[in-house]
Amino acid sequence: MSAKKIVQLKENPAVTNFREYLKISSVHPDVDYSGCVEFLQRQADSLDLPLAIYHVVPKKPIVVLTWRGTEPSLPSILLNSHMDVVPVFAEKWTRDPFGAEKDENGNIFARGSQDMKCVGIQYLEAVRRLKAAGAKLCRTLHISFVPDEEIGGGDGMKAFVHTSDFKALNIGFALDEGIASPTEEFALFYGERSIWQIHVHCPGTPGHGSLLHPDTAGEKLRVVIDRFMDFRQKEKDKLAANPALTVGDVTTINLTMLKGGVQANVVPPELTAVFDMRLAVTQDHREFEALLQSWCKEAGRDVHYDFELKNKRNAITALDSSNPFWMAFKAECDSLKLKLKPAIFPGGTDSRYVRLVGIPALGFSPMNRTPVLLHDHDEFLNEKVFLHGIDIYERLIPAVANVSV
């Protein structure tokens, strides 16, 4: 028998399962989720758990495995993950992004290894261990695998939480994704900023490029960009001045697109700037929009904007004694000697939709001592970190599922 085959035989079955899931190319755009659904059906069969598939939107399946608790009338626990992954630029990878190759150090390379197919499998493998040990949970446990999180979740969790099917799950508390941490600490997220994406339109006088026309689109665009970037700099300064702050604690603004013009010697009739903004949880939404309106007015006649995306103010999950699930989660982490670093998530996850319907949710991916590589080239997760994450969930799941109140 070859050395390669010997190594393969010795691989932990949970790692093998993880690598199989990573090989399913559920990548944007135009994701085909059928491979994921077939894989999850096999997982449900192996765990002897019922599986339900909901279609809020055609071809966008929401898969839910359920472990019934001993007191099913109690609000249940949701363990959420998403099946989709972001696009890859294969030429930038040193390995096949869907090959799930493992190097001599145990690093498993694949798109989704950190974001977030790891967590979905860790849920399942922790449940596998608990069931094998004869564990019983008071509260029913639902393990959900949703589509389209990487493009905003509009056809996934955002829509699902408003359906009768979701309400019938009777969710009382949820866990979802976090991000890796390069230190000993584990990132723990209890809220998210609100995402606003706007297109600022600057119409002006068109004409030949050799002349100095009044009221041009370029002059107006300059004012718009200056005001947005001035605000951005103030937030950067705020972040730099206070080491206790993270990027999730400030409002970020980034100029992401510029559109307009027909050729080099023609002054265009309109130029458009697109900005991605993430509003801090402390940012007053009305005041901020009034500020945007004042910048447009200052820029000149007919400057206006429209929203591509405008999130409502996001709910925050309490990290105090008013939240018994947090108290149980924190106590178990303390028992495991895990160093948690609570923060506001810098991006957006499906947790925001769960919180907006009144359900407390925490974002947590048990990946410490790991470089942050979500959406990056050569994304990887070490198998020891992956397996330790299963150990952690094996303790955390009963802790939150056996909360008595």
By annotation, the residues acting in catalysis are: 84, 149
Buried b (16+ CB within 10 A) or exposed e, 308-335: eeebeebbebebeeebebbbbbbebbee
What would the two tokens of residue 387 be?
């397996």
The three-state DSSP-derived secondary structure of the chain is CCHHHHHHHHCCHHHHHHHHHHCCCCECCCCCCHHHHHHHHHHHHHHCCCEEEEEEECCEEEEEEEECCCCCCCCEEEEEEECCECCCCHHHCCCCCCCCEECCCCEEECCCCCCCHHHHHHHHHHHHHHHHCCCCCCCCEEEEEECCHHHCCCCCHHHHCCCHHHHHCCEEEEEECCCCCCCCCEEEEEEECEEEEEEEEEECCCEECCCCCCCCHHHHHHHHHHHHHHHHHHHHHHHHHCCCCCHHHCCEEEEEEEEECCCCCEECCEEEEEEEEEECCCCCHHHHHHHHHHHHHHHCCCCEEEEEEECCCCCCCCCCCCCHHHHHHHHHHHHCCCCEEEEEECCCCCHHHHHHCCCCEEECCCCCCCCCCCCCCCCEEEHHHHHHHHHHHHHHHHHHHCCCC
Name the amino acid, one letter, at 175.
L
